Structure 1
């Protein structure tokens, strides 16, 4: 059934600017109420910053949680469990990787294939895995599409055993970063951290609020510019954005981005250029930011209307901004975008 949207026109203004994740200003040797400990490192193809009010040694432990997971799920690391499965057609996943596979397949089913962990050969054909960008000919795409079908992945969640058909390649990248942020945050919680912000390059995971009780301020980038267009006030949740502006190339006057539609083998042409998901579960948010981008506004709004575990911000190709009703009291437009009309999607 088609979702009917109840639209409320609102605008809000922020008195000052913002960053993609504020509240992580400084790296010091000793934490104070106003200055968190922080570490910066590169992993999962992005620059990452973990900031927390607590012992810096704990942050290093959280980093290890993330980097250990990356080594196990990488599609290019010959020592990873996913690499082994792709090379041999079968294998066994352990611990967090098995849990991640279970969650990924659940999200593929829940989104009716808008998320598909077997899309990797298509992404590779467009050059997004190598940087050798190209528009593949249609015959190449059509030859690869039969192997884009997550339902053909055989997974035993009890043993962790996975079997895939010959010619199929799986990749958990569409959910792994959000899941890794969530696992790192849980490690910090388990070690006594009550206030932290983990910035994984567009994926933000917060723990609690700031020490003074105020929420974290997380910026949403203008897809057509370099500045934040909106700030969300967030406490103990993840904020994850997928946008066509993140990775793309231009050829013959056309722009092609990395978010692929599993049904067509082409970059998703859904009328959206940015989707931000806010929720308690980082892995779920990561998966939904991609799959709702593929769905487009109407189907994504309908999906949200039938769910109760996330909120969303959608930016269309024409520059319209839609937010779900759970965020209407938690956002503010930046000064540069103060005249933007924001439409609220209600159930």
Structure 2
């Protein structure tokens, strides 16, 4: 398979432009171009050896959701109507979860900070439970209460700015996941301090990706791809042959969308990629990425340029990608190696690539990528 076809599945969406840039270039044009490019790569490389019940050319739909381009693709014959059901699920969840979305549950919780608990839907409560659990698991590397910081920087939006140190110092005491109280019996969420804010952006797309896959399965879909802009899920095996894995590309964080530095085989797995150029802003020549350090109030700034997490559940991949960025290369790899359900690929600013133990015989560098495989044991 040619490199262009191999990597179009996954990290092609790592560098999606900001919303105002999409408006400027024309959303319809973007969607049409990207849907075509993804379809060529995913279906590509000759004729399919698909089973009789699978389509050679999948039914698919592409929409702009949650600030990114979402493409869903179903290979099962006669399941085209499920696409609409899946997008309906995405819209319902996004409307409830998104910050600054009129009527969203998260906005209601934030508005009631320091005042009273807020009862939420089962879906929203389940997501917040996940987010708090990962905040605890990562010892605060991922913190669902990061809202006071992210709302000030607002990287990727028209009002993005670099806050003053005084503003950051005032907001940091509010970033404290332990002050998010959950009442399972009443299904309520309470932020104990006035000014606290939830921001579930670091885990929401993963949660919704998993819900899309559940929707597929509930409607009898066995072979599909869900692409939610940096969160990819490959359901089943490639239609090219029995039990044949998909070939998934890992985005080069320094290059344009669709430029892979390596590939991995995958089936019934999700690949979540975060990079310093995924969403960022420049101030006085310095690049600030959108992933925030809950301890400093600034974007993460270490040797890492990109992280790809491979898991069975996209919600796990989302949280782990943020947590490992915080921990850096060596501590991040140690954190992943302790998790029997996750693998990772770390890409450093010096163009070194480190893979977790479960990927050592699976990950392949693209020829002439300019990157070099390295051993974590050599890192001091």
TM-score, normalization: structure 2?
0.82
> Over residues 297-333 of structure 1, what are the superposed CA-to-partner deviations in whole Å (9 max), with x where a residue is unaligned?
1111111122211000000121111011211232222
Superposed CA deviations along residues 154-199 of structure 1, whole A, max 9, x for unmatched, are 1112321011121101011111101100111011012111111111
Counterpart in the other structure of 2:356: 324
Task: Select which of 145, 149, 172 maps to 1:118.
Answer: 145
**1:342 aligned residue:** 373
Q: Identify if the C-alpha distance between structure 1 residues 184 and 24 changes in structure 2 by more than 3 Å, giving closer, same or farther.
A: farther
- Partners of 1:158 and 1:298 lie apart in 2 by 40
Distance of 2:97 and 2:2 partners within structure 1: 42
Deviation at 1:218, TM superposition (A): 1.9
Which residue of 2 is the match for residue 65 of structure 1? 89
Q: Deviations over 1:55-96 (max 9, x none)?
A: 110111111111111111111112111111111223112122
Distance, in Å, in 2 between the alignment partners of 1:241 and 1:252 is 27
Aligned match for 1:183, one of 211, 231, 240? 211
| SS at structure 2 position matched to 1:256 | strand
Task: Indicate which of 16, 23, 35 corresponds to 2:42.
Answer: 23
Give the number of the structure whose residues are more often helix, by fraction: 2
State how far apart, in whole Å, the 2-side matches of 1:106 and 1:151 are: 10
Q: Which runs of 5+ in 1 are unaligned?
A: 1-13, 26-30
Q: 1:193 to 1:83 in 2, by over 3 A?
A: same
Question: Aligned to 1:173, what secondary structure does the other structure show?
Answer: coil
User: Alpha carbon RMSD of aligned pairs, Å?
Assistant: 1.7
Return the alpha-carbon distance in structure 2 between the equivalents of residues 210 and 92 of structure 1.
42
Is contact 1:23-1:210 (8 Å) kept? no
Deviation at 1:344, TM superposition (A): 5.1
> Which residue does the alignment assign to 1:6?
none
TM-score (norm 1): 0.90
2: distance between equivalents of 1:166 and 1:136?
20
Is 1:78–1:84's contact at 8 Å kept on the other side of the alignment? no
Question: Which residue of 1 is the match for residue 285 of structure 2?
Answer: 253
Secondary structure of the residue aligned to 2:305 is: strand
Shift of 1:24: 5.0
Residue aligning to 1:231: 263
